[in-house]
Structure 1
Amino acid sequence: MFTEAPDARVRPDIDDVLQLITPLGDRVESPALDPWIADVTPEHLGSLYRDMVVVRRIDSEATALARQGELGLWPPLLGQEAAQVASARALRADDFVFTSYRENAVAYCRGVGLADLVRSWRGTAPSGWNPYDVGMATPSIIIGAHTLHAVGYAMGCDLDAVDSVAVAYFGDGATSEGDVSEAMVFAASFHLPVIFFCQNNQWAISEPVGLQSVRHLADRAPGFGIPSLRIDGNDVLAVLAATRIALNRARSGGGATFIEAVTYRLGPHTTADDPTRYRDAAELESWQAKDPLVRLRHLLEREGIFTPVFEEETTQKADAVAAELRAGCVNDPEPEPLRLFDHVFSTDHRGIQAQRATYSDYLDSFDVAESGTVSDGEARS
């Protein structure tokens, strides 16, 4: 006899998530999370707040650069700072991160250079940085594909008998991709040290999460044999605690964990998007009241950390980072055209050599045309 599944479409609220800091900045108790953040001092919270201010400033500066034509595109992370900063700060240097395209706060925390954050969006490089220098792969534009890469890396950690952990960041929309399901099947079957970190920001471009899932996203993972946590993604302490729980499970041989960090994308999907066409203003206003920076500031004020000096130092740090980002972007030299063929393969071969030679001849034809040796029509042919 079949049991009907309850008709409980997911709601865009955060009433039933694990939480340690309320939107008003009140510290609340959670038996599940409290033991994992017992060592966090007010000063530690202050450093997390500073990181969040800095990455919000990076985001606003990069958005401005895109609006000014300096970048071809930018995917804003406004509103998701706590989910990214707290989880990234919980990691060790020997852990390895795989992300989609919005995790620029994670990249900052992993030590990615500021100019490297925008290089591919400016079109001056096919990717921004050397993954092995910072323990983080370059962004994956194909939605959900990198979860398989994370699982593969985790299998390597398991085979090497090291306690490093792979972390895959993705959005709510990616959970509808087959790659994510395949990754979770593989991770569960082989009991691998990987964290599936889902930032449920409520919108997969213009599609609300309730349209693609009738249950909370965290409910899906146990069906694969993976335990899950559903947390307030705008609560920096809850995110830190949940990530530590998942890391501990992975390092101790407990396998994978799925974290659903319930947050909200306050800005557009990218700078090419207009969210006013599909999103209600009242919804945006309700989530602005849950701003991760504002609630942490309220808590820091109660703890006596948020002083005028602290605020000024934080602002100066953010402004300096933004200035460095802008300078690195606008002063990034145009690459030589033939660099297009560098690093396509690990070793050079005749096929790529032939393509390089053909393209070189094509570029030379413009020099010939400008010199007047042949006509424009002959050069173009």
Structure 2
Amino acid sequence: MDARDDEGEDGVSAYRTIRVTTPDSPVAELADVEAWKARKKYPSMVFAGGPVFGVARERESGGWELHPHFAGLAPQDARDGLGAHFRQLAQAAAEEGDDEARTVYLAAGERLDWEPLDELTVRGERYRVVRAERFVRMGPDGPEPPRATDPDPGRSDAARTSYDPAGGLVVDPLDPSAPARTGRVSEGVLRAELLTALRKNGSVPSDVRHDSRKAARTHPGGVLLPATFMTAEREGGRWQPDPAGTAATPQAARDGLAMHLRVMVPWQTDLDADECEVYLRAADRIDTEHCDELDVAGRHFRVVRVERLLRIGPDGPEGPRPSDPDPIPPVMVHEQQIGEQGVPVDEEEDEEPDERMEKFMELFDEGRRRRAALQRGRP
């Protein structure tokens, strides 16, 4: 790879420089206006739970390209995704008759089944598991909902599940035109704020705060990734985020909330038929009105906008920190641990689902039918 100068004309490392420009299109100008309005209405920035993890590939021409679905809640989620990516590449190589490439990619996927690797080079390309911190704007009435300018493409299931605004973005501090660097003044100001954000004393374990302060030195630069979305519930004056994570679009977050109301709430609680109907009608309202705020059975839900900051240092984007939770080992190690614990596996065991699982499957199937009927315009 050709060496490139990592310092700007003023001698400041490029990854530490925040360049800003005026909006170059009516859409960008409107998005900038919305961002300034959000700063006034929701003036505080708070950490939104833990980080999310994804995969980046270093490009020969410079910079790092992000893989789709940058939403893992633990580093192992991203490793599993990278292993699946290598198996897809192996299949494509087999279809092209390239046995050597197929063998190498399969070996890389198998290695990730056993080893918790956060970086590896395969066929001359470097891949890295990377992390992004999540933040939410807060105001007097709670967290910021989606903005009118946030992309929300399509309402078909295919469009919602395939769209990921971060997939394919190039993170390159040396190239101001790289897609992950919009250059808007509002985003430059926000990035500067988030780069200095640290966890408050006593709010997190000491090792988490230590790693946060260390990252500010080792990875002092950063880029904002496209916003993602999650649902939150107001409980006793406080907002609790959905532990299931984030969605790529506002509609995907609405879909997740509707599924929660149709399936998870009735499954996890002892509700009678009338009480279940209240939640079902609330889910129907989400599907028909595409609302971002909902009151149901004395509970209040909101779809929330989430910012993501990916830190960058001299060697590229930041990887997982030692204090990041990573509870599940690679799949083959996990299976080996289960076997060593003496957990019996009876292949002849009756695989019929128990009563509780049957209830879940019934609720899930009924929820799909109900939603499909709504999409066809039937009550």
Normalising to structure 2: TM-score of the pair? 0.26
> Which protein has the bigger strand share?
2
Greater helix proportion: 1
